Structure 1
Amino acid sequence: MEADKKRLKPFPPYWDAPLWYELSGPVYQEPSLKGNEVSDILIIGGGFTGLSCAYELKRRFKDKRILLVDAYMVGSGASGRNGGLMLNGLAFQDLFPCEIEAKIYLSTMATIKEICEIIQRHGIKTAYGLSGTLSVFTNHRSSEMAQRYVEKMNSLGLPIRYLYSHELKNILPMEGVVGAVLDPYSGHLNGLGYLLGLKGYLKSNGVRIYEYSPALRILEGKELKVIFPHGEIKSKAIMLATNAYTPSLGYFKREIMAIEHHVTAARLPHEQIERFNVSGFDDDRSPLSYGTFLPEGYVIFGGGTTCSVEYHLWNRFALKNNQKDLPKVMEATKKAFVSYFPKLRNLSFDHIWSGPIALTPNRMPLMGITGEYGNIYYALGYNGHGVTLANLGGKVMADLYCGNTAKWQDLPFVNAQSKKFPPDPIKYVGFNLYWKVFKKIPRFFAH
């Protein structure tokens, strides 16, 4: 069945389309599932995790029947609604021995390299670049911790570098920053454009894709059955690439928290574009903020204000943006941006979009195998760092399916015992009260 030759916005109708939609090629809808299907592998979720998993599996198993379904369209979730930063590691958590920290960094660095190779190998038309990124620090305590982290990583041969404030001015002219860590092997990616190109490659190589086909229920067994509004799919294995949407299928209800996050964008003055010599930055503030500088002349900025994040009871999502609140969100976000770049106070942030991301109690992703018969694979919970980690998650799931677990056994988030949030409504009340009073996302109420 051919895709409907109609240009569409690949997002639920109650969300605003992100800037990425304007910067990507045309979007064509695939058919929705009507009737019954049988597959060797069913991938649920059409974001980075789902498509990278499909890519890996199809390269290894050319004869297996692989189906991929999405509740809306490919790229409609966080993979098409993010800030576009390809980052390495786990954001200076400093929770593990140096060797494990280094392995996490090298795994993400290899993932970024592979994304770039896939773009080049298949001629995918999307913007990307490896100009490096900065993690900036606004107080001496976090700056000193970052220096110690860099020293440890440098001793293992990793290429990150600490910058003092006077060195930073030549790379990114920011105010109110004590120091920064430069990661030269990170960058930016138009994720929606990447996914649309990868979708075309997968279709031409035999992966069947159904859109506007939300999975309603998974019936476990040696042969799995997934129920959809207008049909069902029987499969020998399922790949859960559903991130913040996973609790709606009955899995990881307490291991992840679906947070609705707002992102803004503005066009930069032409004379400013050449002054930004990195792909972007993130910071140590609470709530964390980040910015991405695009070669098309835009800055994407998110976080930095309590207006930028919401949690709804039972991991539900808002059915539509509250239009009367959007000016407040945009003004608060602009204020956070201008605190770093006061000369850009006249910038007009005229793009805003929202969507859910998945947080975990310890801010680490979850990857592994579940189900009574060990035939459900999962990768989710990227905590806002999903451009790199979600692509890595797809590859990890493919390796776990192949039985190749040795290469990932040292990563602390693969087949690991996950912590849990308290159940709702305790989680809802606790999160929103703490968020309102202390202006930060709580970590303490996990067990």
Structure 2
Amino acid sequence: MNSIVNLPHDDHSCGWYAALPEPRPARRLTGEQKADYVVIGAGFAGLAAARRLAEHMPQARILLVDAQRVGYGASGRNSGFVIDLPHKFALEHPEPQHKQRLLGLNRAAIDQLQTLIGRHAIDCQWSHAGKYQGAVGERGLAYLDHFEKLLADLGEPYRQVERQELAGVLGTDYYSRAIFTPGCYLMQPAALVRGLGASLPQNVEVLEESPIQRLEKDAGGNWILHGKEGLIRTPKVLLGTSIFTQEFGYLRNRLLPVMTFASWTRPLTDAEMASVGVQADWGLTPADHAGTTVRMTQDRRLIIRNTYKHVPRYGRSINDSIRQKVREDHCAAFHARYPQLAHVPFTHTWGGVYAISRNFTNFFGKLDEGVFATACDNGVGAAWGTISGTLLADKVVGADSQRLDDIQSVTGMPSRNPPEPFLGLGVRSRIRWAAWNSRSEL
């Protein structure tokens, strides 16, 4: 028997979600249900898994269950990048084939999302905008030089963008230089996730606001999923639960819950856009991974994202005073870049929890008899969640492919964490040390 200890507890101030119309009333888990497959977690991974299962098994009853509303959790809280390149740490992998497999998987995810957005007319600010990776000072420039070498070794296209040209896009000369890579897409994450949930095949039933609190097996070998007001019996469970996978008793002491934060402004006026010479619809990530991400949305909102926290109790680890300090830090980063826009307020500040592992390894595959999972996206969840959820469904039904071979070859077991209190002390110290070292890039 596996019992959940902590449930999602996200803040109520996610700008992406607040910008959407009110959703339809939630359908919740009540009574006793039976299903051929149950997918827990309606983020990118769970949505992709449920869709693929339905395509393979059109006569099956598939339940997709989430503790919150679709689009409200981590998948709807990121900065809206769908990145094709392997993560910075994965780019340093010694085997070229490993990196090429990751690249192929990410691009397959982008193709999949683009097809679904077009087929179902999902309004989510989808844009093939590419991505800038920017450096402020010497530390950032050293990282940028390293990034350029990794791209050259990978054989991927890129372009150096110097300060003046970059300022013509960003509306600020804060950055010394950037590297532009063309394969990234931008989007409104909560809108995309909600749109994916609304366009699932007919044999997928979505149950929202229905936290699963306990898993156990019955005498016949089926799984019983216990909710607050009902239960589900099923032979197969797919977990698209990221960091919360450990709450079901799996991958415990192998995942690290980290929260990162973002703030955004109201939409800028024509006069404000012109006053700084900023263009709409671009995204910049920091060359120094502990630096600041900046985005301009299609509807002219500027986003600042930085600050990381170790959150062993997820959202309950964060209080109002911490959020206020985060907003102040975001204001400082915003004003440093756009002093002419100091009068423009932030309307929302929010956090999102994701899972990392000490060896930067993603888990994919079987956890128990009848239980499968993709977990630990290491901070690049949109593309990875989409392709890993899709291929997890393939694995469950026995649909072999080269892509399935690829994902199984680049995933493994996240390494064990040291016990508390040493884990918490170590993670907090490392985050503080990274922030101190990267202060010139914030």
TM bucket normalised to smaller: 0.7 to 0.9
Please give the secondary structure, in 2, of the residue aligned with 1:357.
strand
How far is 1:58 from its partner?
1.1
Corresponding residue of 1:336: 333
Distance in 1 between the 2:327 and 2:123 partners?
A: 30
Segment drifting more, 128-137 vs 285-294: 285-294
Please give the secondary structure, in 1, of the residue aligned with 2:415.
coil
Pick closer, same or farther for the CA change 1:96–1:163 going to 2, 3 Å. Answer: farther
Corresponding residue of 2:196: 198
Please give the secondary structure, in 1, of the residue aligned with 2:236.
strand
How far is 1:266 from its partner?
0.9
How far is 1:215 from its partner?
1.2
Q: Are residue 95 (structure 1) and residue 93 (structure 2) matched?
A: yes
Structure 1 unpaired stretches of 5+: 1-10, 442-447
What does 1:84-163 correspond to in 2, within 5 Å?
Answer: 84-93=80-89, 94-138=92-136, 139-154=140-155, 158-163=156-161
Distance in 1 between the 2:419 and 2:167 partners?
A: 46
Q: Which amino acid aligns with 2:249?
A: G
Please give the secondary structure, in 1, of the residue aligned with 2:235.
strand
Corresponding residue of 1:300: 303
How far is 1:264 from its partner?
0.5
Distance in 2 between the 1:215 and 1:253 partners?
A: 18
Whose relative contact order is higher, 1 or 2, with alpha carbons under 8 Å and at least 6 apart?
Answer: 2
Query: TM-score, with normalisation over the residues of structure 1?
Result: 0.85
What value does the CA root-mean-square deviation take over the aligned residues? 2.7
How far is 1:21 from its partner?
2.3
Please give the secondary structure, in 1, of the residue aligned with 2:11.
coil
Corresponding residue of 2:49: 53
Please give the secondary structure, in 2, of the residue aligned with 1:410.
helix
Distance in 1 between the 2:401 and 2:237 partners?
A: 17
Please give the secondary structure, in 2, of the residue aligned with 1:423.
coil
* TM-superposition CA deviations, 1:68-124 (whole Å, max 9, x none): 111122122101122111112333322142232122123212212221210110122
Contact 1:281–1:292 (8 Å) recurs in 2: yes
Q: Are residue 25 (structure 1) and residue 26 (structure 2) matched?
A: no
Distance in 2 between the 1:323 and 1:243 partners?
A: 25
What does 1:212-227 correspond to in 2, within 5 Å?
Answer: 212-220=209-217, 222-227=221-226
Corresponding residue of 2:376: 381
How far is 1:131 from its partner?
1.0
Contact 1:261–1:356 (8 Å) recurs in 2: yes
Segment drifting more, 178-187 vs 165-174: 165-174
Distance in 1 between the 2:326 and 2:164 partners?
A: 32
How far is 1:45 from its partner?
0.5
Contact 1:239–1:378 (8 Å) recurs in 2: yes
Structure 2 unpaired stretches of 5+: 1-6, 438-442
Q: Which amino acid aligns with 1:250?
A: G
* TM-superposition CA deviations, 1:116-158 (whole Å, max 9, x none): 210110122332211111122343321221221121222xxx3
Contact 2:27–2:207 (8 Å) recurs in 1: yes
Contact 1:44–1:238 (8 Å) recurs in 2: yes
Distance in 2 between the 1:17 and 1:292 partners?
A: 18
Please give the secondary structure, in 1, of the residue aligned with 2:88.
coil
Please give the secondary structure, in 1, of the residue aligned with 2:105.
helix
Corresponding residue of 1:350: 347
Contact 1:72–1:213 (8 Å) recurs in 2: yes
Pick closer, same or farther for the CA change 1:428–1:321 going to 2, 3 Å. Answer: closer
Pick closer, same or farther for the CA change 1:124–1:318 going to 2, 3 Å. Answer: closer
Please give the secondary structure, in 2, of the residue aligned with 1:129.
coil
Distance in 1 between the 2:301 and 2:409 partners?
A: 34
Pick closer, same or farther for the CA change 1:111–1:160 going to 2, 3 Å. Answer: farther
Q: Are residue 398 (structure 1) and residue 399 (structure 2) matched?
A: no
Contact 2:253–2:417 (8 Å) recurs in 1: yes
Contact 2:362–2:375 (8 Å) recurs in 1: yes
Q: Which amino acid aligns with 2:107?
A: M
Distance in 1 between the 2:230 and 2:329 partners?
A: 45
Query: TM-score, with normalisation over the residues of structure 2?
Result: 0.86
Q: Which amino acid aligns with 1:15?
A: D
Instruction: Work out which of the residue numbers 279, 284, 292 in structure 2 matches 1:276.
Output: 279
Pick closer, same or farther for the CA change 1:17–1:332 going to 2, 3 Å. Answer: closer
Corresponding residue of 1:16: 12
* TM-superposition CA deviations, 1:327-348 (whole Å, max 9, x none): 3211211222344445444442
Pick closer, same or farther for the CA change 1:310–1:66 going to 2, 3 Å. Answer: same
Segment drifting more, 144-153 vs 161-170: 161-170
Corresponding residue of 1:424: 420
Distance in 2 between the 1:380 and 1:417 partners?
A: 10
Corresponding residue of 2:253: 254
Contact 1:43–1:241 (8 Å) recurs in 2: yes
Distance in 2 between the 1:172 and 1:354 partners?
A: 24
Contact 1:88–1:186 (8 Å) recurs in 2: yes
Distance in 2 between the 1:160 and 1:65 partners?
A: 46
* TM-superposition CA deviations, 1:27-84 (whole Å, max 9, x none): 1232221221121110000111111111122122111111111112212210112211
Distance in 2 between the 1:297 and 1:179 partners?
A: 23
How far is 1:13 from its partner?
7.7
Q: Are residue 285 (structure 1) and residue 309 (structure 2) matched?
A: no
Q: Which amino acid aligns with 2:245?
A: T
Distance in 1 between the 2:237 and 2:160 partners?
A: 43
Distance in 2 between the 1:187 and 1:334 partners?
A: 26
Segment drifting more, 185-194 vs 412-421: 412-421
Contact 2:388–2:407 (8 Å) recurs in 1: no
Distance in 2 between the 1:127 and 1:165 partners?
A: 27
